[in-house]
Amino acid sequence: MSEQLDFRFQVSLKSPYATLIKYLSPKNKFLEFPRQNMIIWALAAFWYPLACKWVGGFSDAELKLKARTAIYQLQQQIIYLAQAFGLENELGTQGIWGHPSSANPGIDSDVDASTSISVSTPISGENHTHLASLMNRENDELLEEAFN
């Protein structure tokens, strides 16, 4: 059996995050994805590049790729949340960035990601059109894009 790391998290029932922990509980059988994936995707999309910087041993180019991957994953998660709560119109006015490019297929293989990486650019013109097309995609496609 391979070695594993355990991660356990508890909060008080009075915590503002108690609802989140209950939602992610193994007792909840109605999650969109496997619980472990939901947790690691959410953590990795923000904290993974910082953890890699902290541990050391990565070149500046590798760290920047990890940061770009995380930024792209966060952008896709923002798009999914906006659609899930009917906030698509607010997305462009809040200065959200994003323009995935299949022309730059760099992928950070240490994160469970299957998305293209691109340097983010503010939404305008062609990028805004791309964002609008993302907003019109089916939920399943958006979930796949947002969390991978």
What is the per-residue pLDDT across 74-110, written as a single tens digit (0 to 9) for each? 999 999 899 999 998 888 755 554 444 433 334 444 5
Q: Distance from first CA to last CA of the chain, Å, rounded?
A: 27
Comparing C-alpha atoms, which of 117, 113, 92, 114 is closest to residue 103? 117
Structure tokens at 105: 């297929």
Are 62 and 56 in contact, with CB atoms under 8 Å apart?
no
Confidence at residue 6, expressed as pLDDT on a 0 to 100 scale: 87
CA distance 36 to 94: 31
Q: Can you tell me whether residue 73 is helix, strand or coil?
A: helix
* Residue 13 C-alpha from the chain's centroid: 27
For residue range 101-127, what is the model confidence (pLDDT) as tens digits?
433 334 444 544 333 333 333 333 444
Q: Per this entry, what is the length of the chain?
A: 148
Give me the amino acid identity at 146: A
Angle between helix axes 35-55 and 139-147 (nearest 10 degrees) is 30
Over residues 40-64, the mean pLDDT reads: 96
CA distance 88 to 13: 33
- Beta pairing partners, 97: 122
Q: pTM of the entire structure?
A: 0.62
For residue range 11-35, what is the model confidence (pLDDT) as tens digits?
999 999 999 999 999 999 999 889 9
